[in-house]
Amino acid sequence: MKLAIIGAGWAGMAAAVKATEAGHHVTVFEATQSLGGRARALANSPTQVLPNGSPMPLDNGQHILIGAYTETLQLMRQVGVSPQTALLALPMTLQFPDGLGLRFTAWPTPLDALGGILHARGWSAADKWSLLRVALGWKAKKFNCADTLSVAELCQYLTPRIKAELIEPLCVSALNTVPEQASAQVFLRVMQDALFGVPGGSRLLLPRVDLSALFPDAAAQWLQQRGALLQLGQRVASLQLQGQQWRVQTELFDAVILATSAPHAAKIIGASTQGAPPSVTEKMQYWAHAAGALQHEAIATVYAWAPQATLPLAMLALRSSAQHPAQFVFDRGQLGGPPGLLAFVVSAAQGERATLQAQVLAQAQAQLGLSLQPIQTVVEKRATFACTPGLQRPPAAIAPGLLACGDYVAGPYPATLEGAVRSGCAAVSLLDANTALALSVKIQA
């Protein structure tokens, strides 16, 4: 098939790799001049130099992976990226600067979690027992709950310390939504995969290279070596159905996979109904409404520097509040970056860039004892969809020969790199399944 993929983020590039592997002729359209979407390296500029003259490659946000990201890790290997080299593997840790908190042991899965709970510093016996009791209840129910339940409601019987030092940071980092508004069912799926999905599923995998090099750039090279086309700087505003094909820009394609953000995808579909039969128009309008109705959350990353700034671990949890909003800090010097460069992450961020930056610098002084110089603050205002209880996410199938992928498309995962990659792979599988079904029907006829 001649296949167009619109968008070169992680979902789009995953779909392109899978489709090319399946034998399709792929063209990727990307509106910008860079790959990776909301997980990419920032474009190089003369200002990306630290005060001491060191080069300062930055990403548009600090991301992490975990061992349960099996599809992402497999695709990285397929396009020539070695996870062992590109990622720093650590036990799951939610330790704070004072050494208190949770750190999983090196025991086999799922005993690593049990060991971490039993040895957690600063947690009382009552704290640990409440967590073990509730977690065993989740497992007994096969990590299922009512779709209408929030994470806060799911965890109501945990002690205040466990809620503050474990549930809240896990929830905002995985779902980018505060526990009072976050989907308990999606949260449980993440917990199930991390704790019981695969051996080592809970391990933290911290990028040692920039996010573009971690997958999108290598995927682009892999695709071009196999004849796929990448059209950068090509913004697609609408599609046109012509017979059994779709026109994208000036070309006709047998099928199209939309891999843009939800708002942009909704605009494209809304502008593409003209000329389509009523049955197709109705499906497209339904899909555009579902995608356009999604609410979004921001993520802010504050990069700051001091000559001697180091952390005891490559990643530390922080005690967040309205005045100290960052939940995590990363030592980029331990991740292949210049010494002294730290990245503070504010999930579900609210407020203006300058305010967030000032609050994070004050938090660094209060909790880390560091006086830091701000380098750059990046705010992705639509970083993720708000993963709320009972949320109706748009399906992958839009109309005949027209599908969507992205971390917001219907599925069990929140807006993560793994969610994006899996959706891209799933869109290609659905396309191939529909093609095989149509061919079977035609042969029988």
**What CATH number is given to the structural domain containing 262?**
3.50.50.60
* pLDDT tens for each residue of 9-29: 999 999 999 999 999 999 999
Tokens of 44: 């190089």
Look at residues 350, 366, 385 and tell me which one is the last residue of a structural domain: 385
Q: Residues 120, 175: one domain? A: yes
Count of domains for the chain: 3
Distance CA 36, CA 215 (A): 8
Residues 99 and 143 in one domain: yes
Overall average pLDDT of the 73-97 stretch = 96
Q: Is residue 225 part of a domain?
A: yes
DSSP H stretches of helix in 2-124 = 10-21, 70-78, 83-86, 111-118
Sign of CA dihedral 390, 395, 399, 402: positive
Average pLDDT, the chain: 93
Do residues 340 and 284 share a domain?
Answer: no
DSSP 310: -
312 & 434 share domain: no
By three-state DSSP, how is residue 327 classified?
Answer: coil
SS3 27: strand
Task: Let me know: does 159 contact 128? Beta carbons within 8 Å.
Answer: no
Distance CA 315, CA 206 (A): 9
**Region for 84 from its dihedrals, namely left if φ exceeds 0, alpha if ψ lies in -120 to 50, beta otherwise:** alpha
pTM: 0.94
CA distance 384 to 416: 8
Is 327 inside a domain boundary? yes
- Tens of pLDDT, residues 300-333: 999 999 998 999 999 999 999 999 999 999 999 9
- Structure tokens, 344: 């503070």
Q: Verify that 306 and 332 share a domain, yes or no.
A: yes
- Picking from 129, 66, 72, the residue whose alpha carbon sits closest to that of residue 93 is 66
Least confident of 43-57, 130-144, 328-342: 43-57
- What pLDDT does residue 145 have? 96
Helix spans in 23-102 (H): 70-78, 83-86
Q: Check residue 436 and give its pLDDT.
A: 57
What H or E segment, with its residue span, contains residue 175?
Answer: helix 168-175
DSSP bridge partners of 78: none
pLDDT digits (tens, 9 = 90+) for 177-191: 999 999 999 999 999
- Judge if 329 and 366 occupy the same domain: yes
Same domain, 287 and 231: yes
Range of the domain at 216: 2-39+212-294+392-444
pLDDT at 106: 87
Q: Which of 171, 197, 223 is the last residue of a domain?
A: 197
Judge if 110 and 173 occupy the same domain. Answer: yes
DSSP 8-state symbol, 261: -
Q: Identify the helix (H) or strand (E) that includes residue 66.
A: strand 65-66
Note whether residue 50 is domain-resident. no
